[in-house]
Amino acid sequence: NAGVTQTPKFRVLKTGQSMTLLCAQDMNHEYMYWYRQDPGMGLRLIHYSVGEGTTAKGEVPDGYNVSRLKKQNFLLGLESAAPSQTSVYFCASRDRDRVRNEQFFGPGTRLTVL
C-alpha cells in the first residue's frame, strides 16, 4: 500500500504558467482534500471531493481548479500561477466512517512561483 502519493514533489514556475498537481490514493477512500500550508498559518482547505465526479470549494479556492474523474485520483490545477501561490500543497484522503475521522496525507508538493 502506497497510501497517498503526490507528484511532483517540487516545482518552480514563472508567473502566468500553468501546472497540474496529481494526488493518488490506494485506500479506496471516498473523501479527498487539497490544502496549502504557509508559514505561521494552519493548513487551509482549497478544494475537496466527497466522491468520484464531485468537487466543492474550500476556504481558499480562488486561482485553483480541481477534478475527480476517478475515485483514486484528485487533480489540482493552477491555470495562471501567481507568486501568492508559492506554498506547500498537501493532498489528503479519508474514508466515510463517521467515527474515524483521520485524514491521511501525501508527502506534499513544494511550489515556488517566481
Work out whether 48 is an interface residue with another protein (CB under 8 A).
yes
Work out whether 56 is an interface residue with another protein (CB under 8 A).
yes
Work out whether 102 is an interface residue with another protein (CB under 8 A).
yes
Closer CB to another protein, 55 or 85, in the complex? 55
Burial 90-111 (b: 16+ CB within 10 A, else e): bbbbbeeeeeeeebebbebbeb
Work out whether 31 is an interface residue with another protein (CB under 8 A).
yes
Work out whether 94 is an interface residue with another protein (CB under 8 A).
yes
Convert residues 59-88 into a mask of x (bound to another protein by CB under 8 A) and - (unbound). Answer: ------------------------------
Cβ atoms of residues 103 and 93 within 8 Å: yes
Nearest to 108 by CA among 19, 3, 4, 12: 4
Type and span of the H or E element at 8? none
Q: Which residues bind another protein (CB under 8 A)?
A: 31, 35, 40-45, 48, 50, 56, 58, 90, 94, 98, 101-103, 105-108
